[in-house]
Amino acid sequence: MSAHSNDLHLQLGPFQGITDVYYRNTFQKYFGGIDTFFTPFFSGIHKENSKSLRTDEIDVAHNNPLTLTPQLLSNDGIEILRFADQCQAMGYREVNLNMGCPYPQVARKKRGSGMMPYTDLVAQIADEIRGKMPLAFSIKCRLGYYDSTEIDALIPIFNSLNLSELIVHARLGKQMYGGIPDFEKFAAIIPQINTRLVYNGDVFSPAQLQIYQQKFSPINHWMLGRGILSDPFLASDLKGTTLESDPEAKKEQVLKFITSLYLLRRKAKNNNPAILGRMKELWSYLYLSFDEAENVWRSIRKSTDFDSYEDAVARVFKHHHWLGTGYVRAPKDDFLAPTDVEHA
């Protein structure tokens, strides 16, 4: 482990449809290593006391407002303030603006990473909210939508906002999740950002993190994404704090986690069959950490109801070995989750 492991700060990246409140709470019960969490994005906060915010997803009865940051997808300063006010009233300390979502139906409307080429729009939003945020404010963005020069024009605006942190997924919006991050460009912006800068993009193993630590010194805040969906031990492995060293013990722990999450979702959603889709979406990352991964994925994917899903899970844990760090072995151009579910 690197000399800096004790100072490592790790965030769980938000995944619409996967890292919901049930995932986050079950994750914390079975695994460690994550310091801060984000909700998948909210949108359409048109009113005070918005109905969209009256949900377990953000209710402090189910969430710890000291370690969870609610995220908003918006290109409207008034909506950002409205969201911030409601989150503050619930007891949250910080809100985050999503300027990273790459999906065409979002980006086309100049939202998510689709805002990044429009410097004037971002400047106007900044003018609307500057000095008025009732709580800490952070932004998650990419290097640009079409081109990494887009962030250069935005940095002075970001720097004028007294952000608590800027999280940069070091890809372009048009890349979606494919290709590799632009490490050189990320390194180049480090000295230009006047707040804490968090790196996001392809942190899949302790070996990779060590390389990034060398490239991006003094960055020590990292957001984990597909790597931790694929191997929930990733955060504690990066910190050198994982208790289970034997792969069989790890597999046992993953089984407990996935079963507990499944039962919690069934209970919370009154056995709605849609939760099968949610479980499969998580499996579309998790399967990569097993041996004969394609066979694992095929078994899970073809299950059509709760019984066949439970049989498939039992077979996987009986017949396959846990290898871990699955995303290191992911197909190269895997820019969408294999389930092809759309996340508007």
Residue 111 binding ligand FMN, by CB under 6 A: no
Closer by beta carbon to ligand FMN, 169 or else 251? 169
Residue 41 binding ligand FMN, by CB under 6 A: yes
Cα–Cα distance, 83 to 291 (Å, whole number)? 44
Which segments of the chain does DSSP mark as H helices, in order?
21-30, 77-90, 104-107, 119-129, 150-159, 183-189, 206-215, 226-230, 234-239, 247-268, 274-286, 293-301, 306-319
Residue 337 binding ligand FMN, by CB under 6 A: yes
Q: How many helices (H) and strands (E) does the chain have?
A: 13, 9
Residue with tokens 């640009």: 144
Residue 14 binding ligand FMN, by CB under 6 A: yes
Near ligand FMN by CB under 6 A, which window of 12-20, 187-195, 212-220, 287-295?
Answer: 12-20
DSSP state of 41: P
Closer by beta carbon to ligand FMN, 301 or else 343? 343
Closer by beta carbon to ligand FMN, 169 or else 320? 169
What are the φ/ψ torsions at residue 210 (nearest 5 degrees)? -60, -40
Q: Which residue is nearest to ligand FMN (CB)?
A: 225
Among 24, 82, 111, 140, binds ligand FMN (CB under 6 A): 140
Count of residues engaged in binding ligand FMN, rule: CB under 6 A: 22
Cα–Cα distance, 343 to 325 (Å, whole number)? 25
Q: Helix 247-268 and helix 274-286: axis angle, to 10°? A: 160
Residue 285 binding ligand FMN, by CB under 6 A: no
Min separation Cβ 254 and ligand FMN, Å:
19
Single out the residue of 208, 271, 263 nearest to residue 234, CA to CA. Answer: 208
Residue 201 binding ligand FMN, by CB under 6 A: yes
Which positions from 53 to 72 touch ligand FMN by CB under 6 A, shown as an x/- string? ------------------x-
Closer by beta carbon to ligand FMN, 255 or else 341? 341
C-beta of residue 99 within 8 angstroms of C-beta of residue 167:
no
Closer by beta carbon to ligand FMN, 210 or else 295? 210
Min separation Cβ 17 and ligand FMN, Å:
6
Buried b (16+ CB within 10 A) or exposed e, 117-154: bbeeebeebbeebeeebeebbbbbbbbbbeebebbbbb
Helix (H, G, I), strand (E, B) or coil at 310: helix
Residue 343 binding ligand FMN, by CB under 6 A: yes
Residue 226 binding ligand FMN, by CB under 6 A: yes
Residue 225 binding ligand FMN, by CB under 6 A: yes
From start to end of 193-338, where are the E strands? 196-200, 221-224
Among 24, 82, 111, 169, binds ligand FMN (CB under 6 A): 169
Residue 100 binding ligand FMN, by CB under 6 A: yes
Min separation Cβ 98 and ligand FMN, Å:
5
Closer by beta carbon to ligand FMN, 72 or else 320? 72
Cα–Cα distance, 286 to 283 (Å, whole number)? 5
Single out the residue of 128, 112, 116 nearest to residue 76, CA to CA. Answer: 128
Min separation Cβ 303 and ligand FMN, Å:
20
DSSP for 65-76, written as a single string: TTTEE-EE--S-
Residue 200 binding ligand FMN, by CB under 6 A: yes
Q: Which residues bind ligand FMN (CB under 6 A)?
A: 13-16, 40-41, 71, 98, 100, 140, 169, 177, 200-203, 224-227, 337, 343
